[in-house]
Amino acid sequence: MRTPTAVTMIRLSEDGEWLLADMFVCGECGTELTAPVTRVAFPVRAHHHYGHEMLPALMEPGTYAVDPEPRGGPWRPWAEVGEEAAAALGVFAPVHSLPSGPPGAVVVAPGDTRATVFIAGRCDGYCLGLDGRDGPNLACESCGRAVATRMDDCSIWQAVWLDPTAVRRVPGPEPRTADWTTLLAEERGTPPVEQPGRWSPQWEASAGAALAHLLAASAGEPVALPAGLLSDMFGRALTLLLPPGRPARTLSLAGPGLPVPTGAEIVVVPVHPRTGDPWRPPGEPATVPLPLDVWLGLAFPQDRSLLPVTGGLPRDVRRDDPLPAHPNWMFRPDRWVFLRTLARLPEVRRPWLRAVYDRLRDERC
């Protein structure tokens, strides 16, 4: 058994300094269960299911996030929990049921786990992998204590969820927080369309969460959208959810590296990937948060893969190869991420917004 140190080295930075990170160990025997990992904001798509295929890892290598809500059973029906108790948990509109497990589950990429073994009889799933239906399915290889649940079935973002009652964090020093200028230089946007013409599931999940904030910020009045991807993301949904009429509010994209929007009552802004804090615009517009990778795809789109040409063209001339991907269907914000997010906004208690929530929740499609 390895004894964890209080400070764990993870990698060298460009200037040769050691960057430091946390580690998680078994709460029973102290065995190291993860590689060194750095905390980032909890992903909006963490509870998102998509399609009928194998999805990539939820977390980037070397990172972890903490779910602030309770996780796991037993599940309690809404009628049993009651509105007052549910609101204390941060849920302000009826849901089918609420988990009563402990909050603070830690999620890491499967490749960042160490010293765990599968628990016999707990490795069931719906289709192509594990879905966690039998509870924790990973145990510490040293002492046998159940410590985590691996989930990698079709439609589920692959992840390992560490049980907060069974593991212990060995903290490193507080990492440096990159400023927005550094993030713009270092981070890359997620393209909105994947081959062969499928809207990115990251975009659909992120748009579902953002739509809930946008609808709340609209105050039930029509919103004017700029042409382009913002209109593709939200235009159809707002037409269906808001009353017709002349737009009373204007939506714009705002954030670092962009001109300050003028006259926009609502702005879509990036969320810091480590802290989870949204970028703050000047003035007092309502803000709609969007994960940084999706926001970058909106603010600084990379529509073409630019490759140097060969032959007789000038040296600096480039061509489009392959051609830009184009979607095969209209964009749809993920409905379940939208409903989940809206149920957790206090604004959903406004009568008009509650009526929207109830109508969509009761629909079967």
Q: What is the pLDDT of residues 192-208, one digit of tens each?
A: 998 778 899 999 999 99
Domains of the chain, first to last: 8-68+104-170 (2.170.150.20), 180-362 (no CATH)
Query: What does the pLDDT average to over 314-320?
Result: 59
Alpha helix stretches (DSSP H) within 219-308: 229-241, 292-299
Cβ atoms 17, 9 nearer than 8 A: no
Q: Which residue has the higher pLDDT, 320 or 225?
A: 225
Q: Determine the pLDDT at residue 196.
A: 79
If DSSP codes are grouped into helix, strand and coil, which group holds residue 152? coil
Compute the 3-state secondary structure of the chain and give helix, strand, coil in percent, each to the nearest 5.
25, 25, 55
Q: List Cα–Cα distances, 233 to 35, 200, 308, 334, in angstroms.
A: 37, 12, 32, 10
Q: Would the pLDDT of 218 be above 50?
A: yes
pLDDT, tens digit (0-9, with 9 covering 90-100), for 129-188: 999 988 999 999 999 999 999 999 999 999 999 999 999 999 988 778 899 999 999 999
C-alpha distances in angstroms, 353 versus 130, 150, 207? 37, 37, 18
